[in-house]
Homo-oligomer: A and B are copies of this chain.
Amino acid sequence: MPGRRSITEAEQLAQAKLGGAPIRHDQMAVVANIYRAASAVRQHLENSVLRGCDLTWTAFVVLWVVWIWGESETRHVAEEAGISKGTLTGVARTLEARGLVKRAGHPTDGRLVLLSLTGEGEALMQGLFPRFNEEEAFVTGQLDDAECRRVADGLRRVVLQVEEQGEGRRRELLGGADPAPRRSGRRARGQGA
Protein backbone atom coordinates (compact mmCIF):
# COMPACT_ATOMS: atom_id res chain seq x y z
CA MET A 1 0.00 0.00 0.00
CA PRO A 2 1.47 3.34 -1.01
CA GLY A 3 1.07 6.53 0.88
CA ARG A 4 1.82 6.10 4.53
CA ARG A 5 3.34 9.54 4.72
CA SER A 6 1.12 12.44 3.95
CA ILE A 7 1.19 14.29 0.68
CA THR A 8 1.08 17.66 2.38
CA GLU A 9 4.28 16.82 4.19
CA ALA A 10 5.86 15.89 0.88
CA GLU A 11 4.82 19.22 -0.56
CA GLN A 12 6.54 21.10 2.22
CA LEU A 13 9.72 19.13 1.73
CA ALA A 14 9.59 19.69 -2.02
CA GLN A 15 9.14 23.40 -1.41
CA ALA A 16 12.17 23.41 0.84
CA LYS A 17 14.21 21.52 -1.75
CA LEU A 18 13.57 24.23 -4.30
CA GLY A 19 14.28 27.21 -2.13
CA GLY A 20 12.08 30.00 -3.35
CA ALA A 21 10.58 28.64 -6.56
CA PRO A 22 6.81 28.34 -6.17
CA ILE A 23 5.02 25.00 -6.40
CA ARG A 24 1.45 24.51 -7.57
CA HIS A 25 0.37 22.52 -4.54
CA ASP A 26 -3.25 21.83 -5.33
CA GLN A 27 -2.44 20.70 -8.85
CA MET A 28 0.32 18.46 -7.61
CA ALA A 29 -2.06 16.87 -5.12
CA VAL A 30 -4.56 16.09 -7.87
CA VAL A 31 -2.00 14.28 -10.01
CA ALA A 32 -0.51 12.39 -7.09
CA ASN A 33 -3.90 11.25 -5.88
CA ILE A 34 -5.18 10.31 -9.32
CA TYR A 35 -2.31 7.92 -9.61
CA ARG A 36 -2.63 6.55 -6.10
CA ALA A 37 -6.33 6.01 -6.53
CA ALA A 38 -5.90 4.33 -9.90
CA SER A 39 -3.39 1.87 -8.48
CA ALA A 40 -5.48 1.17 -5.41
CA VAL A 41 -8.67 0.63 -7.39
CA ARG A 42 -7.02 -1.55 -9.97
CA GLN A 43 -5.35 -3.67 -7.34
CA HIS A 44 -8.57 -4.13 -5.42
CA LEU A 45 -10.57 -5.09 -8.49
CA GLU A 46 -7.89 -7.47 -9.70
CA ASN A 47 -7.60 -9.15 -6.33
CA SER A 48 -11.33 -9.44 -5.73
CA VAL A 49 -13.54 -10.21 -8.71
CA LEU A 50 -11.04 -10.45 -11.58
CA ARG A 51 -8.54 -12.88 -10.11
CA GLY A 52 -11.20 -15.52 -9.69
CA CYS A 53 -12.02 -15.35 -13.41
CA ASP A 54 -8.33 -15.36 -14.28
CA LEU A 55 -8.55 -11.96 -15.92
CA THR A 56 -6.09 -9.10 -15.71
CA TRP A 57 -7.34 -5.55 -15.57
CA THR A 58 -6.45 -4.95 -19.18
CA ALA A 59 -8.13 -8.14 -20.35
CA PHE A 60 -11.28 -7.14 -18.49
CA VAL A 61 -11.32 -3.67 -19.97
CA VAL A 62 -10.97 -5.11 -23.46
CA LEU A 63 -13.81 -7.54 -22.83
CA TRP A 64 -15.90 -4.74 -21.42
CA VAL A 65 -15.37 -2.52 -24.46
CA VAL A 66 -16.31 -5.27 -26.88
CA TRP A 67 -19.25 -6.24 -24.71
CA ILE A 68 -20.62 -2.72 -24.61
CA TRP A 69 -19.97 -1.62 -28.15
CA GLY A 70 -20.43 -4.95 -29.90
CA GLU A 71 -18.27 -6.15 -32.76
CA SER A 72 -15.61 -3.48 -33.27
CA GLU A 73 -12.44 -2.78 -35.21
CA THR A 74 -9.37 -3.47 -33.16
CA ARG A 75 -8.00 0.04 -33.42
CA HIS A 76 -11.18 1.40 -31.84
CA VAL A 77 -11.07 -1.19 -29.11
CA ALA A 78 -7.47 -0.27 -28.34
CA GLU A 79 -8.35 3.41 -28.18
CA GLU A 80 -11.39 2.85 -25.98
CA ALA A 81 -9.46 0.52 -23.70
CA GLY A 82 -6.59 3.00 -23.42
CA ILE A 83 -3.89 0.59 -24.59
CA SER A 84 -1.68 0.50 -27.67
CA LYS A 85 -2.49 -1.46 -30.78
CA GLY A 86 0.44 -3.73 -30.12
CA THR A 87 -0.74 -4.58 -26.65
CA LEU A 88 -4.22 -5.31 -27.90
CA THR A 89 -2.88 -7.84 -30.37
CA GLY A 90 -1.44 -9.90 -27.54
CA VAL A 91 -4.41 -9.50 -25.22
CA ALA A 92 -6.85 -10.40 -27.98
CA ARG A 93 -4.79 -13.46 -28.80
CA THR A 94 -4.96 -14.59 -25.18
CA LEU A 95 -8.69 -13.98 -24.96
CA GLU A 96 -9.26 -15.75 -28.24
CA ALA A 97 -7.32 -18.78 -27.02
CA ARG A 98 -9.58 -18.86 -23.96
CA GLY A 99 -12.64 -18.81 -26.19
CA LEU A 100 -13.95 -15.46 -24.95
CA VAL A 101 -13.59 -13.40 -28.12
CA LYS A 102 -13.72 -14.06 -31.84
CA ARG A 103 -11.72 -12.25 -34.46
CA ALA A 104 -12.95 -11.83 -38.01
CA GLY A 105 -11.64 -10.06 -41.08
CA HIS A 106 -13.50 -6.99 -42.23
CA PRO A 107 -15.74 -7.83 -45.20
CA THR A 108 -14.55 -5.03 -47.46
CA ASP A 109 -11.28 -3.69 -45.98
CA GLY A 110 -8.73 -6.47 -45.77
CA ARG A 111 -6.53 -4.57 -43.33
CA LEU A 112 -9.11 -4.48 -40.57
CA VAL A 113 -9.83 -7.10 -37.96
CA LEU A 114 -13.12 -7.17 -36.07
CA LEU A 115 -13.45 -8.33 -32.47
CA SER A 116 -16.61 -9.71 -30.93
CA LEU A 117 -17.53 -11.77 -27.87
CA THR A 118 -18.27 -15.46 -28.13
CA GLY A 119 -21.30 -16.86 -26.35
CA GLU A 120 -19.00 -17.85 -23.53
CA GLY A 121 -17.58 -14.35 -23.36
CA GLU A 122 -21.05 -12.87 -23.33
CA ALA A 123 -22.10 -15.16 -20.50
CA LEU A 124 -18.96 -14.31 -18.54
CA MET A 125 -19.59 -10.58 -18.72
CA GLN A 126 -23.25 -11.01 -17.88
CA GLY A 127 -22.25 -12.60 -14.60
CA LEU A 128 -19.06 -10.65 -13.97
CA PHE A 129 -20.02 -7.05 -14.59
CA PRO A 130 -22.57 -6.76 -11.78
CA ARG A 131 -19.95 -8.00 -9.32
CA PHE A 132 -17.41 -5.61 -10.80
CA ASN A 133 -19.83 -2.74 -10.45
CA GLU A 134 -20.45 -3.67 -6.82
CA GLU A 135 -16.75 -3.29 -6.12
CA GLU A 136 -16.76 0.04 -7.91
CA ALA A 137 -19.41 1.02 -5.41
CA PHE A 138 -17.26 -0.33 -2.59
CA VAL A 139 -14.13 1.64 -3.45
CA THR A 140 -16.17 4.83 -3.72
CA GLY A 141 -18.03 3.99 -0.52
CA GLN A 142 -16.81 7.09 1.30
CA LEU A 143 -18.43 9.38 -1.28
CA ASP A 144 -22.12 10.02 -1.72
CA ASP A 145 -23.67 10.20 -5.18
CA ALA A 146 -23.24 13.94 -5.53
CA GLU A 147 -19.60 13.77 -4.54
CA CYS A 148 -19.05 10.97 -7.03
CA ARG A 149 -20.46 13.15 -9.76
CA ARG A 150 -18.27 16.06 -8.77
CA VAL A 151 -15.12 13.94 -8.71
CA ALA A 152 -15.97 12.22 -11.98
CA ASP A 153 -16.65 15.56 -13.58
CA GLY A 154 -13.35 17.00 -12.40
CA LEU A 155 -11.48 14.00 -13.76
CA ARG A 156 -13.35 14.22 -17.03
CA ARG A 157 -12.07 17.75 -17.43
CA VAL A 158 -8.51 16.60 -16.82
CA VAL A 159 -8.90 13.96 -19.53
CA LEU A 160 -10.40 16.50 -21.91
CA GLN A 161 -7.64 18.98 -21.26
CA VAL A 162 -4.96 16.45 -22.15
CA GLU A 163 -6.84 15.10 -25.14
CA GLU A 164 -7.62 18.47 -26.63
CA GLN A 165 -4.62 20.55 -25.66
CA GLY A 166 -1.98 17.94 -24.89
CA GLU A 167 -0.45 17.44 -28.28
CA GLY A 168 -0.14 21.14 -28.96
CA ARG A 169 1.33 21.68 -25.53
CA ARG A 170 3.96 19.01 -26.07
CA ARG A 171 4.93 20.47 -29.41
CA GLU A 172 5.23 23.87 -27.84
CA LEU A 173 7.43 22.53 -25.03
CA LEU A 174 9.78 20.80 -27.41
CA GLY A 175 10.01 23.94 -29.47
CA GLY A 176 10.40 22.09 -32.75
CA ALA A 177 13.00 19.65 -31.46
CA ASP A 178 12.62 15.98 -32.27
CA PRO A 179 10.58 14.20 -29.61
CA ALA A 180 13.43 12.04 -28.29
CA PRO A 181 12.61 8.38 -28.86
CA ARG A 182 11.71 6.14 -25.99
CA ARG A 183 14.88 4.60 -24.59
CA SER A 184 13.34 1.21 -24.12
CA GLY A 185 11.62 -0.60 -26.93
CA ARG A 186 12.73 -1.42 -30.43
CA ARG A 187 15.50 0.79 -31.80
CA ALA A 188 15.70 2.45 -35.16
CA ARG A 189 17.85 0.26 -37.34
CA GLY A 190 19.26 2.72 -39.85
CA GLN A 191 21.83 4.85 -38.05
CA GLY A 192 23.58 3.67 -34.94
CA ALA A 193 24.26 6.59 -32.59
Contact = CB atoms under 8 A, between A and B. Distances in A.
Interface of A is mostly: helix
B31 A35 contact: no
Interface string A1-24: 111110100100110011001011
Q: Which of A136, A149, A151 has the most CB of B within 10 A?
A: A151
How many copies the complex holds: the figure is: 2
Contacts of A142: 157-158, 160-161
Interface stretch (A85-93, A103-111, A179-187): A179-187
A155 B54 contact: no
Contacts of A81: 2
24 contacts: A1-B163, A2-B79, A2-B81, A2-B82, A3-B163, A4-B79, A13-B68, A17-B68, A18-B130, A26-B140, A27-B136, A30-B136, A31-B136, A32-B152, A33-B156, A34-B37, A35-B41, A36-B159, A39-B82, A44-B169, A44-B170, A47-B179, A48-B170, A143-B154
